[in-house]
Structure 1
Amino acid sequence: MQLPTPRGPLTAALFERLRRPPHPFDPPSAPAETPAIADEDLQLALFTCYELHYRGFEEVDEEWEWEPSLLAMRKVLERRLENGLARAVPRPPYPPDLSVRHALAELVTADDGPSLSAFLARRADLEQFREFVAHRSIYHLKEADPHTWAIPRLDGRPKAALVEIQADEYGGGRVEKMHSELFRATMRGLGLDDSYGAYLDRVPAITLAISNTMSFFGLHRRHLGALLGHLAAFEMTSSAPNRRYSTGLRRLGGDEAARRFYDEHVQADAVHEQIAAHDMCGGFVREHPSRAGDVLYGAACALTLDRLFAEHVMDHWRCGASSLRETNVMAESR
């Protein structure tokens, strides 16, 4: 993957540095006028810093990953993200008379965001569905990777539960069944570029914020509870929407190979939901009762960001506009 196009003074300065050999530098400053979750420059800069812990960029020396001055800059960016999440996501109370499983279920039930999946099932045209898939490619082409950071930080039943979920995400060791590979088949079936990060330049801040929040929770051990809650919410809100996505893609002519990613999640996530809420999060809270609030907060972050994403997409589509950063993005991929 190549470094993307800068979106402001922060990313312009950062990318200029990253194209050179690793060296100490003073973190560039940028105005903090835009709310963090909607700040294009901030979210792209943070995504770039995090990507150095995943697959990196072709023109960036791998030694940048642990360059102290870059980590110092990332810490400043993370503070803005953390504060932005705190403003956007009220910390849910944890009723002591409820199990964490039931508290998670109540959070999911109370979520009242727009049903993007219902629109895609019944009304979206092919270009809108392709747009949706381009957005989701930022995470789905590395699906499960951010949550895997939790494995070495757990023990006992919570660890075993997480490994059980992640093993399915990675196809049980069979490359053709890895969920990231199934998503590539969906992209190819829609005539999209299935290479890693192909649409990084096109997706807006909210799409990047979804991915950045996972990485933020995953890379900091103090946010372990939030990472587990995030995954639980992800699994608990997956099965029914994926059934609708498959229905919509079938309506638009998608073949079985293109729909397999969604069909697989209908079955797998119905099982994962129970494992994540009961065994993983429930087991974690039994061992660390003081961190129950962290678990619920992570779940609330996942739900809130998904709602903001749906609102962004639906608002643009109601106006007849593209939800991507350029209206001609899809034509360029053909």
Structure 2
Amino acid sequence: MAQNPATAEIGDVVGFAARALAEASDLARDDDVQLALFLLYASHYGSLDVIDAGWEWHPMLIATRGMLERAFEEMLRERVETPAPPVPTRDGVARALFALTAPTPGPSLSRFVAKKATGEQLREFLIQRSVYTLREADPHSWAIPRLTGASKAALVEIQSDEYGSGDLSRMHSRIFARTVRAAGLDDTYGAYLDAVPAVTLASLNMMSMFGLNRRLVGAIVGHLAAFEMTSSLPNRMYGDGFRRLGFGPEATHYFDEHVEADAVHEQIAGRDLAGGLAEDRPDLLGDIMFGAAACLTVDGWVGDEMLAAFESGRSSLRDV
């Protein structure tokens, strides 16, 4: 990846990617595969200054990205249990999504954070969240030009809130950056990239893959619906965990904001966005449900691994 694509042979990077895929036992947890995908997507976001803007559409890198994406998507479709599609109506899709995302009893990362997490564990939690949340909403925004009608209007309504409705100080990524600073951490995007485990990168990479591929527009819509529907209650618990350890509003504002905002967003996302798309494009219903189930599955892997590390007294971060 360090070689300049303007001079490298196309076979070099594609060959490296092919070998990484051949040697990977679990694509979601393979550092080489997920880091490569993250960097390739970062070229489109412009999130890392070290990546030359001229590389964005270089054929060699696009070929490499396509190879990695095909393997990653195939793995997800094999491992994600997608429910049977409901009737393609707003009410039918909304009911199915609310049933799919209903809270379950038992241990969870959010409950652990609320009741038991130490200050150091809360900082690790923020570090893991930073790879997505310092760019919050961006992966889902790729879907805006790919939608029409009611589903497009619903997505724009949600995204407008995420970006602060024109007020920079209310932009969710900026509010999260204040939380990061309040915890004594660096809010520079990518500052902790080497410390974040591959499965956490996989969660963001999945969003980017769904958002950047027009044929997967149903999946990114389903992902956002599930993401919003599972946000409000956990964020209440995360805020409680930070308050328990004495953090003030500068740290808790982000979580408190999402308790209220996402309680509204989940209704829009389930009925108007996902349900509206299903009514207009019934052929996308399977991918809408797949995207929602994939969100729950992969984010569940991330949360379960972080929780297991915290409960055993281990760091949840990579040893770098």
Please confirm whether the aligned pair reaches a TM-score higher than 0.5, indicating the same fold: yes
Deviation at 1:229, TM superposition (A): 0.5
Shift of 1:319: 2.1
Secondary structure at 1:233 match in 2: helix
Residue 261 in 1 paired to residue 254 in 2? yes
C-alpha contact (below 8 Å) 1:24/1:67 kept by paired residues:
no
Q: Deviation string for 1:89-136 (max 9, x for gaps)?
A: 023211339701011111112767841101100111111111001000
Identify the residue that residue 176 of structure 1 maps to in structure 2. Answer: 169
Mapped partners of 1:148, 1:58: distance in 2:
21
Counterpart selection for 2:54 from 51, 63, 75: 63
SS at match of 1:253: coil
Structure with the higher fraction of residues in helix conformation:
2
How many residue pairs match? The answer is: 312
Q: 1:89 aligns with which of 80, 93, 97?
A: 80
Match of 2:151 in 1: 158
Matches of 2:55 and 2:258, distance apart in 1: 36
Which residue is equivalent to 1:273?
266
Partner of residue 50 from structure 1, selected from 25, 30, 41: 41
- Aligned partner of 2:50: which letter? E
Quick check: 1:311 aligned with 2:297?
Answer: no
Deviation of residue 286 (structure 1)?
0.5
State whether residues 221 and 291 of structure 2, in contact with CA within 8 Å, keep that contact through their aligned partners in structure 1: yes
Q: Distance in 2 between matches of 1:175 and 1:309?
A: 30
Does the aligned pair in 2 maintain the 1:242–1:262 contact within 8 Å?
A: yes
Aligned-partner Cα distance in 1 for 2:9–2:145: 31
Corresponding residue number in structure 2 for 1:332: none
Contact 2:46 2:53 in 1 (8 A): no
Following TM superposition, the consecutive aligned residue runs of length 4 or more in structure 1 with deviations greater than 4 angstroms are: 20-24, 110-114
- Local SS of the residue matching 1:109: coil
Q: How many Å apart are 1:317 and its aligned residue?
A: 1.7
Paired residue type of 2:82: R
Q: Return the alpha-carbon distance in structure 2 between the equivalents of residues 167 and 61 of structure 1.
A: 29
Aligned partner of 2:101 in structure 1 is: 108
User: 2:108 touches 2:304 (CA, 8 Å); kept in 1?
Assistant: no
The correspondence for 1:203, drawn from 185, 190, 196, is 196
The residue type equivalent to 2:3 in the other structure is R
Matched residue, 1:6:
none
Is residue 134–residue 199 contact of structure 1 (8 Å, CA) maintained in 2? yes
Higher RCO, 1 vs 2 (CA within 8 Å, ≥6 residues apart): 2
- TM norm structure 2: 0.93
2:218 match: 225
For 1:109 and 1:220, how far apart are their aligned partners in 2? 28
User: How far is 1:277 from its partner?
Assistant: 0.3
Contact map agreement 2:47 2:189 (CA 8 A) in 1? no
- Check 1:312–1:277 CA distance in 2 against 1; reply closer, same or farther (3 A cut): same
Q: Residue deviations 1:170-219, cap 9 Å, x none?
A: 00111111000000010011001111111111000110000000000000
User: What is the CA–CA distance in structure 1 between the aligned matches of 2:134 and 2:48, rounded to whole Å?
Assistant: 15
Residues 47 and 114 of structure 1: is their aligned pair in 2 closer, same or farther, counting only changes over 3 Å? farther
Distance 1:93 1:133 in 2: 35
1:8 match: none
Quick check: 1:22–1:61 contact (8 Å CA) kept in 2? no
What does the per-residue CA deviation read over 1:303-329, in whole Å, with 9 as the maximum and x for residues that have no partner? 001111111111112221100002xx7
Q: CA deviation at 1:86?
A: 1.6
Q: Call closer, same or farther: CA 1:110–1:263 in 2, change over 3 Å.
A: closer
